[in-house]
Amino acid sequence: MKTKISRIIIFANGELPNKEKARALLHKEDFIIAADGGTRHALALGRMPNVLIGDLDSVTDEEEER
């Protein structure tokens, strides 16, 4: 059975001042794209990005391995 993607969420590098509010906006079926340092935000919210884009110069080795 295929999962329907209802939304695509793009995380970008920068500040994420309210993690709980951001987490509450996410849906289980959201397709997550992390643009470079946005990977840090997706992981902090407990979400594994479906796709990483960018040169990844803002991503730590640990984040990239995850």
Task: For residue range 7-65, list pLDDT tens digits in order.
Answer: 999 999 999 999 999 999 999 999 999 999 999 999 999 999 999 998 877 777 787 77
Q: Output the pLDDT for position 61.
A: 77
Does the predicted TM-score (pTM) go above 0.85?
no
Q: Output the pLDDT for position 51.
A: 94
Q: 34: which strand partners?
A: 11, 52
Return d(Cα 37, Cα 5) in angstroms, integer. 24
Residue 5 has pLDDT above 70, yes or no: no
Return d(Cα 36, Cα 31) in angstroms, integer. 16
